[in-house]
């Protein structure tokens, strides 16, 4: 999937993946897609909840060799 920006949050513990995602998203335009890489297992539920509460669209989640990949479209 194409992303406008990629955020590498691998190795970071909660709540850092969310804090960093929020920071990246703030500088993006509505409709742009951010790809986030994370190894924090809690991020799966947290990213989903964060996107929902912020009015963003979680396009997809994939898992590859212990790395979670999220694609979130800014609302």
Partner 1 sequence: MAGKTAIIASNGSLFDAYKVYNIATAAAASDHEVAIFFTFEGLNLINKEAYEQLALPEGKEQMAEGLRAANVPTIPELAEMAQELEVKFIGCQMTMDLFGLEKDAFIDGIDVGGAVTFLDFAKDADVTLTF
* Contact letters for partner 1, residues 43-72 (x by CB under 8 A): ---x---x--xx------------------
Query: Which range in 9-17, 29-37, 57-65, 66-74 contacts partner 1 by CB under 8 A?
Result: 9-17
- Count, residues near partner 1 per rule CB under 8 A: 14
Q: How far is residue 26's CA from residue 10's CA, in Å, rounded to a whole number? A: 20
| CB distance 52 to 37 below 8 Å | no
**Interface of this chain with partner 1, residues 15 to 44, rule: CB under 8 A:** 15-16, 18-19, 21-22
Report the 10 Å Cβ neighbour count for 45: 9
């Amino acid at each position: 999937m194409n992303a406008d920006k990629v955020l590498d949050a691998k190795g970071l513990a909660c709540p850092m993946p969310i804090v960093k995602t929020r920071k990246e998203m703030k500088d993006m335009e509505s409709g742009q897609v951010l790809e986030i890489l994370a190894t924090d297992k809690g991020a799966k539920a947290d990213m989903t909840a964060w996107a929902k509460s912020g009015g963003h669209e979680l396009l997809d989640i994939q898992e590859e060799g212990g790395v979670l990949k999220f694609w979130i479209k800014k609302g």
